[in-house]
Amino acid sequence: MPGPYRPAIGIDRPSMRQNFAQEMPACPVYAHMRRLFETALGSSDLHLCPTCRQPFVAPKEILAEHEDGQLVVDLGCANCGWSAVQLHDSFQLCALDRALDRDSARIEAAADALALSCELERIDRFAEALRVGHILPEDF
């Protein structure tokens, strides 16, 4: 017969005096529920994915315009595949567009820096090969 129930040691339990509306400490279940809650409501920072927390959310399609001027938008994350249909105003969508432009510029700058780094490394290897005699004038 199983023994009596014993709670796990080291589990923090809120005291009865604590306000349960306060944010609970990070735990996998709470984090997952928080992401679901943010997905349902739509976060204020649209370019961050509520599931993977990466800045890869982009509008797939504007589905309709609401009578109060808000737009029904199909949003999707290119990183994890998350998608949602949400209602947003034009101010939020302009902020998303600016964030996408800013992130695209950062990606382009990083790609340019990588290309320059690779080219400089290639030049250094060529100069080293010339210095040690691996490449001769007859090779050209």
Closest CA to 93 of 54, 42, 51, 52: 42
Side chain identity, residue 3: G
Is residue 101 in a domain? yes
Is residue 22 in a domain? no
Is residue 10 in a domain? no
Is residue 7 in a domain? no
Q: Is the pLDDT of residue 89 over 60?
A: yes
Structural domains of the chain, count: 1
Instruction: Show the domain range for 108.
Output: 28-133
Is residue 21 in a domain? no
Is residue 1 in a domain? no
Q: pLDDT tier at 45 (50, 70, 90 boundaries)?
A: confident
Is residue 52 in a domain? yes
Summarised one tens digit per residue, pLDDT across range 68-88 is: 888 999 999 999 999 999 989
DSSP string for residues in 81-140 = --EEEEEE-HHHHHHHHHHHHHHHHHHHHHHHHHHHHHHHHHHHHHHHHHHHTSS-GGG-
Structure confidence at residue 29 (pLDDT):
64
